[in-house]
Amino acid sequence: MAQPRLSKWSRAIGEPAWLAFDSLRTSRARSFLAIGGIVIGIVTVVLVASVLANVRNQIALLFRDLGTENVFAFHLTGDPYVTPSEAEARRQPLKLEFIPELKRLGPAIRDVGAEVIVPTTVGGQALVARAGMNESDTVLVEGVSPTFFDIVGAEFDKGRPFTELEDRQGARVAIIGASLAKALYGDESPLGRTLTLAGETYTVVGQLQKRRGGFFGENRQDNVLNLPVGTIRRRFGDPERLVLYMRAQPGQREACMQQAETILRILRKLPPGADNDFTLSTADSIIATFDSISGRIALVTVGLAAVSLLIGAIGIANVMFISVTERTREIGLRRALGAREGEVLLQFLLEAAFLSGIGGVAGVATALLIGGLLTLVVTGFSAVAPLWAVSAGLVSSVVVGLTAGYWPARRAAMLDPVEALRHD
């Protein structure tokens, strides 16, 4: 009993599959044009989903690497290296003098570190780090407090952090990122070696391990030249862009943030009811912001893909209408031999589904190929498609085919056998 049933389903599915491939073979241009929109739509969805998913993972690693229990304070909104809006440009920067007050007044604040962002150009001249015959014009100069590396959990590949004495004296010592060390010293150890920056010579006392996460495989911190805050202040004056890193007591991050907000409002003399003229954030809040942005990008992508899929659906419906017209006598003969309306409807629905499924498979394969090439070309970046994106691409292509093919399939199923046999 099971064998005849299996044979019946094999014929029901096998024949439409063969007819779909035969349609591709005999009407290649028409069929490939029909599935072109499907391919473009699926490539768009899968490829963008791959890039966003992998960028999101890298962003999460990047900011979680700065400490999940830390609270960041900055007088502007967004990236410290980005030019602020006209409204925010009038805000006064945070001050190094806030650090002891935050530690003293905030019981949930375990420690506070400072990161000073030095402009990439000083006095109209771009900052360039040089060591012997090598140089780097992509160097980013930052001043950090002695406790900074411990607060953010940065790991040293070689050497040590700054001391309190070096910070107070404005010593000419430096700690460099992994990429900067490679650019200036190659495979040799940078410890004890010197480099020059803006007319001053510094001795390297530490090299950081390569940081995790980043944008398209590149972590900005790997190109940073870290100097003591006291050295930055002596060489470049009072900081105009200062980020404070506050490490919370275990399990008290939310209390740390609330206390930091209250203390900073008092220190910046903000009246009750006035908006904050600074921004507090955490690794999780930054990641959530990115998720919100990527969600909007995904919606736009889905909209663009929907247009392509609609074009593909129209093409498939057109091909199926032509197929029904060309095979009217065949349909009439099948009905005369006892085929029921449901069997004819299933035949043409499956034919449309196979046709669009071919487009879906081609679209997913193309997206995977492009993602693989991106992974090979962009160092440290992965554009591997997540399983849900591949599954969604294949399922949506089949759904589009079934939807587009229903009307032509219904028309075929409703043909009168006698009239169909008379068709020329």
Domain boundaries, the chain: 10-62+288-422, 68-282
For the chain, the C-alpha Rg in angstroms (whole number) is: 32
Tokens of 80: 């410290």
> How many other CB atoms sit within 10 Å of the CB of residue 375?
17
- Residues 257 and 71 sit within 8 Å (Cβ to Cβ): yes
The model's pTM = 0.70
Of the candidates 350, 322, 333, the residue with the CA atom closest to the CA atom of residue 423: 333
Give the integer Cα–Cα distance in Å for 27 and 318: 13
- pLDDT tens for the chain, 424 residues long, are 455 555 556 666 666 667 656 666 666 666 777 777 788 888 888 888 777 777 777 776 666 666 678 899 999 987 788 888 888 888 899 999 999 999 999 999 999 999 999 988 877 788 899 998 999 988 999 999 999 999 988 889 999 999 999 999 999 999 999 999 999 999 899 999 999 998 899 999 999 988 775 555 567 788 899 999 999 999 988 888 999 999 999 989 999 999 999 999 999 999 988 999 999 988 887 777 777 777 777 777 777 777 777 777 777 777 777 777 766 666 666 666 666 666 667 777 777 788 788 888 888 888 888 888 877 777 666 677 778 778 888 888 888 878 887 777 777 666 665 565 555 5
Token pair 């029909």 is found at 34
With 0-12 CB in 10 A as exposed, 13-18 as middle and 19+ as buried, what is 102?
buried
Residue 300: the pLDDT is: 76
Helices (H), 327-416: 328-336, 341-377, 387-413
| Backbone dihedral angles phi then psi of residue 203, each to the nearest 5 degrees | -100, 130
Tokens of 377: 């070309």
Give the integer Cα–Cα distance in Å for 91 and 110: 27
| Backbone dihedral angles phi then psi of residue 406, each to the nearest 5 degrees | -65, -45
